[in-house]
Amino acid sequence: MITTMLVILAVWFVVLFLGPPIWLAMGLAGWAFLQIAGIPDIALAQRIAKSADSFPLLAAPLFILMGNIMNSAGITQRIFRFATVCVGWMRGGLCHANIVASVFFAGTSGSAVADAGGLGTIEIQAMVDEGYSPDLAAAVTASSATIGPIIPPSLPMIIYGVSAEASIGALFIAGVIPGVLMAGALMLMVRAIAIRLKLPRHPFPGFGDLWRALREAFWALLTPLILFAGLFGGVFTPTEAAAIAVAYALVLGLAIYREFELADLPKIILDTVETTGVVMALVMTASLMAYCLSLSQVPQAAGAFLTGLTDSPLVYLMIVNVILLVVGCFMEAIAAMLILVPILVPTAMKLGIDPTQFGLIFVLNLMIGTITPPVGIVLYVTAKVAGISFERVTRATMPFLVPLLVVLAAITVWPPLTTWLPRVVLGR
Partner 1 sequence: MNALRRFAERAIDVAAIVVFVAIFGCVIGQVVLRYVFNNPMTWSEELARYLFIWCSFLGWIIASRRHGHLAMSYVAERLPPRAQALLSAVIALATLLFAWILGSRGMKLVTNNWDIENVAVPFTLGMVYLIVPLASVAIAAYAGAGLVDSVRKLRYGT
Cα 235 from chain centroid (whole Å): 25
Say if CB 321 and CB 362 are below 8 A apart. Answer: no
Nearer to partner 1 by Cβ, of 23 and 400: the residue is 23
The one segment of 61-69, 216-224, 340-348, 357-365 that binds partner 1 by CB under 8 A: 61-69
Q: If DSSP codes are grouped into helix, strand and coil, which group holds residue 149?
A: coil
Is 27 a binding residue for partner 1 by CB under 8 A? The answer is yes
Pick the closer one to partner 1 by CB: 94 or 114: 114
Least CB distance to partner 1 at residue 278 (A): 5
Q: Residue 61 interacts with partner 1 (CB under 8 A)?
A: yes
Query: To 10 degrees, what angle do helices 120-129 and 377-386 make?
Result: 50
Which of 147, 246, 363, 388 is in the footprint of partner 1 by CB under 8 A?
246
CA atoms within 13 A on the CB side of 218: 8
Interaction of residue 124 with partner 1, rule CB under 8 A: no
263 binds partner 1 (CB under 8 A): no
Site for partner 1 in 187-226 (CB under 8 A): none
DSSP per-residue string spanning 36-51? HHT--THHHHHHHHHT
Q: Which residues contact 169 (CB under 8 A, 6 or more apart)?
A: 231, 234, 237, 238, 422, 426
Kindly tell me which of 5 and 280 has the beta carbon lying closer to partner 1: 280
The amino acid that residue 367 corresponds to is M
**Candidate residues 10, 37, 41, 204; the one interacting with partner 1 per rule CB under 8 A:** 41
The site for partner 1, by CB under 8 A, has a size of 57
Which among 198, 250, 204 is positioned nearest to 72, based on CA atoms? Answer: 250
**Closer CB to partner 1, 210 or 269, in the complex:** 269
Q: Smaller CB distance to partner 1: residue 277 or 416?
A: 277
Please report, as residue ranges, which positions from 280 to 339 form the binding site for partner 1 (by CB under 8 A).
Answer: 280-282, 284, 332
User: What are the distances in angstroms from CA 242 to CA 61, 96, 126, 225?
Assistant: 9, 30, 32, 12
Among 188, 270, 322, 424, binds partner 1 (CB under 8 A): 270
| CB-nearer residue toward partner 1: 146 or 276 | 276
As a whole number of angstroms, the distance between CA 159 and CA 168 comes to 9
Question: Are the beta carbons of 355 and 396 closer than 8 angstroms?
Answer: no
Residue 21 sits in the site that holds partner 1 (CB under 8 A):
yes
CB 358 within 8 A of CB 345: yes
Tell me if 223 sits within 8 A of 107, measured CB to CB. Answer: yes
Q: Give the one residue of 214, 244, 301, 349 binding partner 1; rule: CB under 8 A.
A: 244
Rule CB under 8 A: choose which of 5, 8, 9, 65 binds partner 1. Answer: 65
Residue 380 to residues 120, 139, 334, 375, 385, Cα–Cα distance (Å): 12, 11, 16, 8, 9
Which of the stretches 22-30, 174-182, 351-359, 403-411 binds partner 1 when contact is defined by CB under 8 A?
22-30
Expressed in angstroms, the distance from the first to the final Cα of the chain is 42
The SS3 of residue 152 is coil
* Residue 275 within binding range of partner 1, rule CB under 8 A: yes
| Nearest approach, Cβ of residue 202 and partner 1 (Å) | 38
Contacts to partner 1 from residues 333-392, by CB under 8 A? 374-375, 377, 380, 390
d(Cα 47, Cα 158) in Å, to the nearest integer? 19
Choose which of 23, 63, 160, 172 interacts with partner 1 (CB under 8 A). 23
Tell me the closest approach of the beta carbon of residue 424 to partner 1, in angstroms: 23
Q: Find how far residue 123's CA is from the centre of its chain.
A: 19
Residues 6+ apart with CB under 8 A from 17: none
Smallest separation (angstroms) from partner 1 to the CB of 405: 24
Taking CB under 8 A as the rule, does residue 228 contact partner 1? no
Shortest distance (Å) from residue 31 CB to partner 1: 6
Tell me how far, at minimum, the Cβ of 26 lies from partner 1, in Å.
10
Q: Judged by CB, which is closer to partner 1: 15, or 319?
A: 15
Cis bond upstream, residue 153 (ω within 30): yes
240 lies in the site for partner 1, by CB under 8 A: yes
Please give the DSSP secondary-structure letter assigned to residue 203.
P
Pick from 369, 404, 339, 327: nearest CA to 23: 339
Minimum distance between the CB of residue 169 and partner 1, rounded to whole angstroms? 15
**Contacts to partner 1 by CB under 8 A:** 16-24, 27-28, 31, 41-42, 44-46, 48-49, 52-55, 57-58, 61-62, 65, 235-236, 239-240, 242-244, 246-247, 266, 269-270, 272-278, 280-282, 284, 332, 374-375, 377, 380, 390
